[in-house]
Amino acid sequence: MKTIIEPFKIKSVEPIKFTTREQREEILKEAGYNPFMIKAEDVLIDLLTDSGTSAMSARQWAGIMDGDESYAGSKSFFRFESTVKKITGHKYIIPTHQGRAAEKILFSIVGGKGKYIPNNTHFDTTRANIEFTGAEAVDLLNETGKHPEIRADFKGNMDVEALDEFIAKVGKENVPLVMITITNNSGGGQPVSMKNIRDVKEVCKKYDIPLFLDACRFAENAYFIKKREKGYENKPVLEIAQEIFSYADGATMSAKKDALVNIGGFLSMNDENLAMQCRNLLIVTEGFPTYGGLAGRDLEAVAQGLEEVLNEHYLQYRIRSTEYFGEKLISAGIPIIEPPGGHAIYIDAKRFLPHIPPHQYPGQSIVCELYLDGGVRAVEIGSVMFGKYDKDGKLIPPPMELVRLAIPRRVYTQSHIDYVAEVVIEAYKNREKLKGYKITYEAPMLRHFTARFEQI
Ligand code: F0G
């Protein structure tokens, strides 16, 4: 088999800025050793997120020029609506400015005190939007998904038995909907199998509860099904995606991922009454139902992006390039969540730096080293992001200490990825010299964005 290449050629480029190690030492110190506080132009390769960072195609840019900016009934809305309907099969399509706006609207209506929303693993904004209403967000990930070192095909699967037991315990009237996140971002970008989606749907049917998808990375998930699940190897990815959505009564979507745009999202659903309530809230918070917080040109770009993302040469390149990056790290002995997920590589910081305990933030230490050595920006997903304090002010660490290297879509080439792998491998060679950090300032909520650190 020949090398799997980027399925595009480059028409427009954006220079990246090189800095010296001395400059980066100064920049990182100024930023309080928190890469969120570094100016993007001081980053050489930015793997902070795959969200809103995609390179748009020439056709998407053409769509931007062609966007219809009419307040009501814009032509771009109808193109957007028909594309989303083709993929999801859902009756009501409601545009929002990004994923969390869709979550906010949905959970303002179905959430509230005494309610529970199960998911394989809630993403932070989903959890926050649910908990903001007083409801409880519950993670029911299958056991293998919780072990970074176990290789399995569908580590994003929900624990179906646990779901059944959970609904029986809290009462079906207290579970307004069940969610599945595809792919499971917080669990390492791992896919969910069609069988699991079908089995979850059966449980939902038994209790008469709607199933919603958090569909940000639905195309990547559909491609994993094609590659890994028996019976799907010869099916077009569009049909696989259509089957996935056919089991769902609705979805929330951040178009900033698999719709290959810089902003956008939507809510889709089949229930007319729920759609009416969502549209009412949409008008108050986002905008008229045919633009929902977006410009007509954005809707045009989303529609085009949704068509491009289902191209199988694109998906082959996308999934293979993440896997290629993962394989390079694994062959150097670097502990990562295995197998590599769809949109990111997650370094297991506990095994990378066993000499740094969670309360000295091993993930932060790696993130700082990657910036210092190579100008690479990654993000800590461990005790800095999710740590809590007990009543004596002692850190309660989350189960895993991870560093996420998320790969923007169509932005970096194979040599950029080779370079990043070299930087990570270098950090691993020097791991015994890496030191822990302590927090010198933190905000009361979402502290990872603005915290300041000092090396110990
Ligand atoms: N759901 C999942 C699974 C996500 O990964 C995200 C965003 C959202 C919902 C919210 O969408 O940002 O458009 O409001 N994830 C980004 C990330 C921020 O870096 O993983 P949004």
pLDDT tens, the chain, 456 aa long? 899 999 999 999 999 999 999 999 999 999 999 999 999 999 999 999 999 999 999 999 999 999 999 999 999 999 999 999 999 999 999 999 999 999 999 999 999 999 999 999 999 899 999 999 999 999 999 999 999 889 999 999 999 999 999 999 999 999 999 999 999 998 899 999 999 999 999 999 999 999 999 999 999 999 999 999 999 999 999 999 999 999 999 999 999 999 999 999 999 999 999 999 999 999 999 999 999 999 999 999 999 999 999 999 999 999 999 999 999 999 999 999 999 999 999 999 999 999 999 999 999 999 999 999 999 999 999 999 988 899 999 999 988 899 999 999 999 999 999 999 999 999 999 999 999 999 999 988 788 999 999 999
Closest alpha carbon to 18 in 412, 420, 408, 374: 374
Strands 265-269 and 92-96: antiparallel
To 5 degrees, how large is the angle CA 281–CA 284–CA 286?
Answer: 90
Beta-carbon contacts of residue 15 (< 8 Å; ≥ 6 apart)? none
Which residues share a beta bridge with 180?
213
Residue 3 falls inside a structural domain: no
What is the number of domains present in the chain?
2
Residue 416 lies in a domain: yes
Distances (CA, A) of 120 to 139, 220, 400: 5, 17, 16
Q: Do 246 and 320 reside in the same domain of the chain?
A: no
Ligand 1 atom 21: the closest Cα is on which residue?
99
- Tokens representing 172 are 């079906």
Domain boundary (260, 281, 308) is at 308
Contacts of 296 (CB under 8 A, 6+ apart): 67, 68, 69, 70, 74, 75, 76, 77
Domain membership flag for residue 442: yes
Side chain identity at residue 378, one-letter code: A
Long-range contacts made by residues 436-439, C-beta under 8 angstroms, separation at least 24? 436/356, 436/357, 436/360, 436/361, 436/362, 436/365, 437/33, 437/360, 437/361, 437/364, 437/365, 437/368, 438/360, 438/361, 439/361, 439/384
Residue located nearest, by CA, to atom 2 of ligand 1: 123
**Nearest-atom index, ligand 1, CA of 50:** 19
**184: left (phi > 0), else alpha (psi -120 to 50), else beta?**
beta
Which atom belonging to ligand 1 lies closest to the Cα atom of 48?
A: 19
Considering the domain architecture, whether residues 293 and 317 belong to the same structural domain is answered as no
pTM of this structure: 0.96
- Give me the pLDDT at residue 328, please: 98
Q: Whose CA is nearest to atom 16 of ligand 1?
A: 51
Asked if residue 220 and residue 324 are part of one domain, the reply reads no
Q: Both 259 and 347 in a single domain?
A: no
Q: Which residue has the tokens 């020029």?
A: 65
Would you call 389 helix, strand, or coil by DSSP? Answer: strand
CA–CA distances in Å: residue 368 to residues 53, 86, 388, 399: 22, 44, 22, 22
pLDDT of the residue at 442: 93
Predicted confidence at residue 445, as pLDDT, reads 77
CB neighbour burial string for 316-328, b if at least 16 within 10 angstroms, e if fewer: bbbbbbbbbbbeb
Distance 22 CA to ligand 1 centre (A): 34
Domain shared by 40 and 149, yes or no: no
- Give residue 6's pLDDT: 95
Do 109 and 186 lie in a common domain? Answer: yes
Residue 138 has φ and ψ, to the nearest 5°, of: -120, 130
Report the CATH number that the domain containing residue 141 is assigned in CATH. Answer: 3.40.640.10
User: Is 177 inside any structural domain?
Assistant: yes
Domain that holds residue 347: 21-50+312-455
Measured distance CA(456)–CA(333) in Å, rounded: 26
Which pair of structure tokens corresponds to residue 421? Answer: 């792998």
In a domain, 12, yes or no: no
> Mapping DSSP to helix (H, G, I), strand (E, B) and coil, where does residue 406 land?
strand
Q: For position 117, what pLDDT does the model report?
A: 98
Q: How far apart are CA 206 and CA 253, in angstroms?
A: 26
What is the token pair recorded at 212? Answer: 């919603």
- Of 178, 47, 26, the C-alpha closest to 117 is 178
- Residue at which a domain ends, from 308, 334, 352: 308
**Number of other residues whose CB lies within 10 A of the CB of residue 422:** 15
How many CA atoms within 13 Å lie on the side-chain side of 127?
Answer: 13
Mark which of 276, 308, 340 sits at the end of a domain.
308
Same structural domain for residues 436 and 324? yes
Same domain, 234 and 325: no
CATH number of the domain to which 399 belongs: 3.90.1150.10
Instruction: Give per-residue burial for 207-217: e unless 16+ CB within 10 Å, then b.
Output: eebbbbbbbbb
Residue 441 three-state SS: strand
Spatial separation of the C-alpha atoms in residues 153 and 156, rounded to whole Å: 9
| Burial class of residue 281 in the structure, from the number of CB atoms within 10 Å of its CB (0-12 exposed, 13-18 middle, 19+ buried) | middle
* Beta-strand pair 265-269/250-254: antiparallel
Give CA–CA dist 203/160, Å, rounded.
Answer: 8
**pLDDT at residue number 184:** 95
Is residue 302 domain-shared with residue 323, that is, in the same domain? no
CA 49 to ligand 1: nearest atom? 19
Nearest CA to ligand 1 atom 19: 49
- Residue 232 covered by a domain: yes
pLDDT of amino acid 252: 98
- Whether 4 maps to a domain, the answer reads no
Do the beta carbons of residue 7 and residue 313 sit within 8 Å? yes
Alpha helix ranges (H) inside 208-311: 218-228, 237-246, 272-285, 296-309
Give the residue, by CA position, lying nearest to ligand 1 atom 4.
Answer: 123
Q: Which of 122, 125, 260 to mutate to test the pocket of ligand 1 (most atoms within 8 A of CB)?
A: 125
Closest residue CA from atom 9 of ligand 1: 99
286 within some domain: yes
- 393 and 439: one domain? yes
Q: Are 29 and 136 contained in the same domain?
A: no
Give the whole-angstrom CA distance, residue 335 versus residue 352. 6
pLDDT digits (tens, 9 = 90+) for 194-207: 999 999 999 999 99
Q: Which residues line ligand 1 at a C-beta cut-off of 6 Å?
A: 49, 51, 98-100, 123, 125-126, 181, 185, 214, 216, 254, 256, 265
- Same domain for 289 and 324, yes or no, is no
Q: How far is the CA of 51 from the centre of ligand 1 (A)?
A: 7
- Which of 49, 50, 100 has most ligand 1 atoms within 8 Å of its beta carbon, as the pocket-test mutant? 100
